Chain A
Amino acid sequence: MAPKGKSPGTTPSKNHPLSTPSAKKVIEDPLGKSIPVEEDELPNGTITPKVLKLAYPLPEHISPTTINNTESLLRFVILALTCGAAIGSRLFAVIRFESVIHEFDPWFNFRASKVLVNKGFYEFWNWFDPTAWYPLGRTVGTTLYPGLMVTAGLIWHFLRLINMPVDIRNVCVMLAPGFAGLTAWTTYLFTKEMSTPAAGLLAAAFIGIAPGYISRSVAGSYDNEAIAIFLLMAAFYTWIKAMKTGSALWGMLTALFYGWMVAAWGGYVFITNMIPLHAFVLILMGRFNNRLYTAYSSWYVIGTISSMQVPFVEFLPIRTSEHMAALGVFGLLQLIAFVEIVRRLVPGKQFQLLLRAFVVLVFVVSFAALVVLTFSGWIAPFAGRFYSLWDTGYAKVHMPIIASVSEHQPTAWPSFFFDLEMLIFFFPAGVFWCFKELRDEQIFIIIYATLSAYFAGVMVRLMLVITPVVCVAAAIAFSKLLEAYIDPVIPESEEEIEEATAHQPMSKAKAKKIAAAQQNKGEFNFTGILGGKGNKGIFGLDTRFAVVSVLSLFLFLFVYHCTWVTSSAYSSPSVVLASRNPDGSQNIIDDFREAYYWIRQNTEKDAVIMSWWDYGYQIAGMADRPTLVDNNTWNNTHIATVGKAMSSNEDVAYPILRKHDVDYVLVIFGGLLGYSGDDINKFLWMVRIAQGEWPDEVQEVNYFTQRGEYAVDERATPTMKNSLMYKMSYYRFHELFGGHPAQDRVRGQTIPSTGIQLDTLDEAFTSENWIVRIYKVKSEDAIGRELKAVSSFEGGKKLKKSASSSAAAVGGKKSRPNM
């Protein structure tokens, strides 16, 4: 039997010859080239070893044990190196900047982890945070996915136990790269189940450095996704294992990983629906068996119970529509299993039909019950975010907060290439290979690929979900190609076959049989290597060389692209910015931390800071002060209140500020430096969200010029110019230019040099590059005048004096109104 001697299994149950390691040994090197080694005693078919022609010589007389051992050693080394590369490529930010928590959400997770390790688990579980969402507070323990913090906490405690007093911050920073290494390993295992170990190694290497995954898991990006992808792959791998072996142990492991995933990330719903869907498709294809039954039942029961232990989830698995598929398939499996038993005991075709009808009836009735329960309110309908997956315009109309987050926007096409490079082209090929073999586990890949391809198109954030399956499928396709082209066996040309048949009349019958089989099939047949026929293959060394070198080039380019993307796009902590000096040296712009640390050190411990919600977690984490709104965005009204205060004039905003005990208002202003992620650019979202609550008081139209432009220069509308946000951003900005036109570098517009008068706020602090500006809210005038009157009075006085101080009107110490 030559490795290519047989056509790939047309029946799914039959193993593909390529996947049986006994036929061929494949040795991998880190670049993914495989070198097939022919075993001496192998040939037992029509072709004898003497007839086997090789394109290049292979070493002989190597015992199978040696090959086996070398193989497993190489596999281990390659996998270890892959994990190393996966970790290493995520360290750009640490090396370039420092070991710092990135962006916004990670700051909350970090803060929660600190509570966990400093105050203990129960304190964390029951944590009520009075400083968030002032004055409402937030019951943090029951409104977060604790998996991430608990994982980090356990690692921290373990390290403490072995006398490694590592700072919790370093544990948090390094968690994502560490788990990325583990993800590479689980992806290897997963792909190995789908195809060959060679494909597994390729898949591990791909997922290790694919930017689509790195974007969420660089060092410092301490977010739920950091461990979620590992858990996703682990759950899928154990599920495939359970389904293949029918072992309750693997099913339980699936459930445990699932439980961990539920505790860690809201995206667990993906698993909750993937596994039932897979099981359901298998049932529809008539592939129900006891292994599937055992695997699914053990996963569903244990998994659901473990998921209900998470306070944030609790009874959701039995009360929301997202979870109903799993329950339905569970019921369906019971019914089918019951029917199977009955069928075994009771023969008779009519009875079978009856039973089938019964199954369908029960299914229909339970589905109807589900619908009724949903409409009667017992089962919650799909959540809003879920709808936005089906209708991309939904969020913009109904939930401006969700739409305002850039990662919830639909994916742009280039970003597929940006995040996955060549994998996106190999991906369909890999899915195609799965179709060709269509074993139970490969159906999983097909479903996963279809679903995630859709989701990734709908939301940028879900690129993360498609990345593993793209890596797996692309690795399968890639390894198939490499296998075909590295295979040293030269197929016989047609003359040779004819010659052979002429010389050996014995094999004539066999040749006929093959021909007959081909005719009998009469279906669509592939030609060339895809058809996998014995006399088709690669003939010359030059073809091999050409294809393999092109593929290697692809791999090199992929590594190069991934490194470049990671280094340039995904490794910025966004807390620290970097620019280049004219001489090429790095200039660190550290305004955020400058301002946050100033707040932390020089304001009252209970001073309430108002800012747009993006900065809520950072203020809580770095400045350690109460905030009005943060990235949790659970209370739309509260956010809209802040939006209203920011977008209204001082007369409207001041009572809002006072009512919420605001001491300081913080705005991000990038106009001096050209930092485009500033509040003026986000301003329209504030207006929109405020408009959602107070359509009469805040209108988006008023912030545009008559020609529909969003302007901050002279053309800006009076509403815009009088808004608190505009005033705070450009307060005294033109003075910095000393008479020259004040240029806003983000919007490229000239700011009018008429001074901005702030009556109700005092500038308290501005960071070095003016990125963060903090204003103190004045307290009411001691003798009951309006603050506007006070400042005009003071201003009149100031005219006589030299205009020395900007902080002329300093009231008495602020006394906080009793609540």
Chain B
Amino acid sequence: MLSLALTALLPLAYAINVPQTYINTAIARTVELGGLTTHVNTQYNIKATDDAPGEYYLALAGEESQVPAWWEVSLGGKKLEGRLLDESPPTVVVDLGKTKKDETVTLSLTQVLAHSSTPLPAEIEQRDPQYLVWKTNSTYVDSWYKTDVERVKIRSPHPSIVSYSSVPETYTRDNTVTKSGGTLTLGPFHSLPPTLSIPQGQKAVVEQKPFSVHYETKDPIVGIRTLKRSAEVSHWGSNFNIQDEIDLVNEGPKLKGHFSRLAHQQSKFHASVPAQILTELTLKLPPTANSPYYYDTIGNVSTSHFRQGSTPAEQKKKKSRTSPRVVDGNLELRPRYPLLGGWNYSFTVGYDIPLGDVLKSETSGRKVLAVPFLTGLKDVVVDQAELVVILPEGASDVQVYTPFAVDSIEHSTHKTYLDTTGRYAITLKKTQLTENHAQNVYVTYYYPLSAHFQKPLTIASLVGSVFLLGMGLRRVNYSIEKK
């Protein structure tokens, strides 16, 4: 049914008209398998076949695939801004600059795919190893152009690869798949036609084959269902507070049967905690982050450790022996209970940063605030993220600059302690984030001097009026008796 529907959609998909002005002389792709994320690095050696070849159409994925959670194109180490087309398959149009005929450039594409591996078997017992299966629809690198030679390397995090699918020998000269340790090498493939068809379609298009790897992973597979970050600026306290509400879930194979504490304690004793069990999570905080807190619905979670980071500037002040380099703070969080496959754990974690580290004032009086969208966790995918930036009361002329496209930006008013008119709040939402999205959102605003005095004046007038009221009331005689 689905394929039928897709077939019906295909003509629409091929609305992209790609002129065959380039060929790929070589493509080298490395796929780093992980838990929830898969890092894909692809190097394209591109040769123009025309004097004015125009823009290069870079396919991000195959015909039936989604846009990857994160992608970046760079040309010779320099980041390139690509224009993502709306049509499927996801394609980015990049400008390679002025290229002449037979000139070669090297383009590299970095992609992070989310949720491309799934546990197999889907249910395991407490002490069993966990295996994942990674599936892709494109054995060959998707491309709108012809490719001379192509090689795909798939690296598993652990040498034990249970099985992998085969690759047709159509374009290979010797072996199709080579396994050495935890690395699979596909190809090299020679003289591949474009994998995505061209409307004019002079040449046969390569038929893509799905490819899957069944591999073992030794790390717990952690996902974040929802992340709600609120970042609050306080000019009076010169403080920047970040608070994350996190719904954590162990996305690995589900626990079969029940959890045995005895077995868990024994495995801890023998230092062989099974891979699927998440007992600790380390958050890397900015070096000047301080006063962290960690609690959940029913109170503080007492099992956490915090190692404060340091900066060279601080190190001069403190005299204590710290590293002369910038050291990130480490917040080691231990959930209340070990997280086995399929178990959830929601909690809130927050910390303070001195405002000076994230806020810069321009000479024009404009303030520029850098808000990290999320704290990156290796191999973790955030399904739903929401960032609320709360500016101080009285902030005006607010502008938001995001490092990547977000799903929505809303402006609203937030009222909290000692507020009268309320604070300016910006809500950003995005789905599917990876550690590569741990970048700063920049918010600029003006904060006039008068706004500084709004709070003290409010409180002073309030307290003053209470006293005045008291003075007045004391001078009234309430007695109904006549004296």
Contacts and interface: CB of A to CB of B under 8 A. Distances in A.
Interface of A: 97-100, 163-165, 575-576, 588, 590, 593-598, 600-602, 621-622, 732, 735-736, 762-768, 770, 776, 804-808, 810
Q: Tell me which of B263, B297, B298 has the highest count of chain A C-beta atoms within 10 A of its own C-beta.
A: B298
A736 B265 contact: yes
16 contacts: A97-B300, A98-B299, A99-B299, A163-B415, A163-B418, A164-B418, A588-B302, A593-B336, A594-B337, A601-B345, A736-B262, A766-B261, A804-B127, A805-B125, A805-B257, A806-B260
A307 to B, nearest CB: 27
Nearest to A593: B298
B453 to A, nearest CB: 17
A810 B298 contact: no
B336 A594 contact: yes
Contact of A597 (B263, B297, B416): B297
Contacts of B127: 804
A762 B415 CA distance: 49
Nearest to A763: B258
A810 B257 CA distance: 7
Contacts of A808: 257
A593 B299 contact: yes
B336 A165 contact: no
Nearest to A623: B298
Contact of A163 (B299, B337, B419): B419
B346 interface: yes
B344 interface: yes
A100 B299 contact: yes
Majority secondary structure of chain B interface residues (helix, strand, loop or mixed): loop
B296 interface: yes
A590 B336 contact: yes
A735 B418 CA distance: 58
Interface in B276-296: 295-296
B414 to A, nearest CB: 10
A806 B262 CA distance: 10
A597 B259 CA distance: 15
Nearest to B127: A804
A598 B337 contact: yes
Interface string B96-136: 00000000000000000000000000000101000000000
Given A590-B302, A763-B258, 15 more contacts: A97-B300, A163-B416, A163-B417, A594-B336, A594-B337, A597-B336, A601-B343, A602-B342, A621-B298, A735-B262, A768-B261, A776-B258, A806-B258, A806-B263, A807-B125
**The 3 A-B residue pairs with the shortest CB-CB distance in the complex, in nearest-first order:** A807-B257, A766-B261, A588-B302
Given A598-B336, A810-B256, A765 B299 contact: no
Contact of A807 (B258, B342, B344, B415): B258
B303 interface: yes
Given A163-B417, A163-B418, A163-B420, A597 B258 contact: no
Nearest to A806: B260
Contact of A576 (B261, B302, B345): B302
Given A98-B299, A763-B258, A805-B257, A601 B346 contact: yes
Contacts of A810: 256-257
A768 B338 CA distance: 9
A99 B417 CA distance: 19
Contact of A601 (B125, B256, B344): B344
B259 A765 contact: yes
A93 to B, nearest CB: 12
Contact of A806 (B257, B299, B300): B257
A17 B256 CA distance: 84
Given A98-B300, A164-B417, A598-B337, A767 B344 contact: no
A588 B298 CA distance: 15
A130 to B, nearest CB: 21
Contacts of B259: 764-766
A755 to B, nearest CB: 12
Contacts of B417: 163-165
Contacts of B345: 597, 601
A597 B342 CA distance: 15
Given A165-B416, A732-B262, A736-B262, A597 B257 contact: no
A684 to B, nearest CB: 27
B299 A766 contact: no
Contacts of B419: 163
A806 B257 CA distance: 8
B327 to A, nearest CB: 25
A419 B300 CA distance: 31
Contacts of B415: 163, 165
A602 B343 contact: yes
A764 B345 CA distance: 17
B337 A597 contact: yes
Contact of B258 (A165, A601, A764, A768): A764
B293 to A, nearest CB: 10
A598 B339 CA distance: 9
A770 B303 contact: no
A601 B344 CA distance: 6
Nearest to A776: B258
B362 to A, nearest CB: 31
A164 B418 CA distance: 7
B211 to A, nearest CB: 34
A590 B303 contact: yes
A67 B395 CA distance: 53
Contacts of B416: 163, 165
B259 to A, nearest CB: 6
A767 to B, nearest CB: 7
A202 B260 CA distance: 58
Contacts of A99: 299
A596 B417 CA distance: 32
Contacts of A770: 261
B434 to A, nearest CB: 24
A265 B417 CA distance: 33
A461 B419 CA distance: 44
A597 B301 CA distance: 11
Contact of B298 (A97, A164, A597, A763): A597
Nearest to A807: B257
Interface string B329-347: 0000000110000111110
A762 B259 CA distance: 10
Contacts of A735: 262
B300 A100 contact: yes
Interface string B297-315: 1111111000000000000
Q: Tell me which of B260, B415, B418 has the highest count of chain A C-beta atoms within 10 A of its own C-beta.
A: B260
Contacts of B303: 588, 590
Contacts of A736: 262, 265
A595 B337 CA distance: 8
Nearest to B418: A163
A537 to B, nearest CB: 41
Nearest to B347: A597
A113 to B, nearest CB: 15
B298 A622 contact: yes
Interface string B404-438: 00000000000111111000000000000000000
Contacts of B336: 590, 593-594, 597-598
Contacts of A621: 298
Q: Tell me which of B257, B295, B420 has the highest count of chain A C-beta atoms within 10 A of its own C-beta.
A: B257
Interface string B122-159: 00010100000000000000000000000000000000
A622 to B, nearest CB: 5
Interface string B172-191: 00000000000000000000
A765 B127 CA distance: 15
B300 A767 contact: no
Nearest to B302: A588
Nearest to A736: B262
A588 to B, nearest CB: 4
Contacts of A590: 301-303, 336
A807 B259 CA distance: 9
A125 B127 CA distance: 50
A765 B262 contact: no
